[in-house]
Amino acid sequence: MKRDASTMHLVGTLKDLYAEKEVSTDKREERKRREKEEAMKNYYDVQMRKLDIDEANAKTRAREVEIKEKELELIAASRTKEVELKEKEVELKRQAEDHMIMTADLTAMNEVKRAWFERRQKEILDRTN
């Protein structure tokens, strides 16, 4: 009887230990599952923030490109205007020179100067006709 009681006590103790082990294992597995879920949630949050940052950076780069394109367009337009103004300036200088040549008094000039002026006057007249 003592042995049976001792064996029954041992079996009861082993059952209790096994039940505690299962509870402990269940708690550990639950804790690991929660930690894994939390780690996955943190990873997801980090990835979402990274995507948001990448999207913001892409928008910023697109805006920078747009601004650079507008700047280049303005520079091109400015240079075009500069070229047009230079062309007008050259044309006005040419017209002033033509006017001076056409209105020059040829009577007081020596033969070489007069020949040059007459040749230039003829070129001017040919160009305007």
Instruction: Quick: pLDDT tens for 83-108.
Output: 999 999 999 999 999 999 999 999 88
106 closest CA partner among 89, 122, 94:
122
Contact indicator for 102, 121 with CB cutoff of 8 Å: yes
The DSSP letter of residue 110 is -
Residue corresponding to tokens 């804790």: 31
pLDDT of residue 77: 97
For residue 42, the surrounding DSSP H or E stretch is: helix 2-102
pLDDT band, residue 62 (cuts 50/70/90): very high
pLDDT of residue 126: 94
pLDDT of residue 1: 76
Q: Give the C-alpha separation, 107 to 96, whole Å.
A: 21
SS3 of 51-107: the string is HHHHHHHHHHHHHHHHHHHHHHHHHHHHHHHHHHHHHHHHHHHHHHHHHHHHCCCCC
Average pLDDT of the residues in 12-16 = 92
pLDDT band, residue 48 (cuts 50/70/90): very high
Please give the share of the chain, as a percent, with pLDDT higher than 70.
Answer: 100
Indicate the angle between helix axes 2-102 and 111-128, nearest 10 degrees: 120
